[in-house]
Amino acid sequence: MPKEYFHGLTTEDARQERCVLRNRIIFWACVIGIVLGGSLIYAAKVWAVPLYEGVANGVKVTLHDEDCKLAEVINLKKRATWQEGNKIFEGCWGLHQGADVVIAYFSDKTVAIFPPQMFRPVRGA
């Protein structure tokens, strides 16, 4: 800030003006940070599209491209959802190369193994 701005103020008044100015800058920097952070989270959700869907016996399983959010699962890296009626369970999925199957674990503690042929690409993905 140029010294001319504080010209004519006492030392204490100039110090107080600088403090007020610093607090405003900090406040607006925080507001901008929160808005940008929220925008990034929203964008990540929008771009996380479903890759494949499979339906069998009234259950729809969707395999997503985004990272799995379940903390207890470490070896299945991607997100899956299990929809049965109006209930939806979050889960994680991975492809087991040796057995050529899709393995999934869901929040209701269900472990499921699916043949890859069961899934079809989601349109627009």
The model's pLDDT over 7-58, given as tens digits with 9 standing for 90+, comes to: 666 777 778 888 888 889 999 888 888 888 776 766 555 555 788 999 988 8
- Total count of domains within the chain: 2
Say if residue 108 is in the same domain as residue 57.
yes
Say if residue 65 is in the same domain as residue 31.
no
pLDDT digits (tens, 9 = 90+) for 84-124: 989 999 999 998 878 789 999 999 888 999 998 999 998 76
Range of 27's domain? 3-47
Query: What Å distances lie between residue 21 and 10, 18, 32, 50, 118, CA to CA?
Result: 16, 5, 17, 47, 62
Say if residue 28 is in the same domain as residue 59.
no
Helix (H, G, I), strand (E, B) or coil at 102: strand
Say if residue 99 is in the same domain as residue 57.
yes
Say if residue 78 is in the same domain as residue 97.
yes
What phi and psi values does residue 47 have, to the nearest 5 degrees?
-85, -10
Say if residue 31 is in the same domain as residue 63.
no
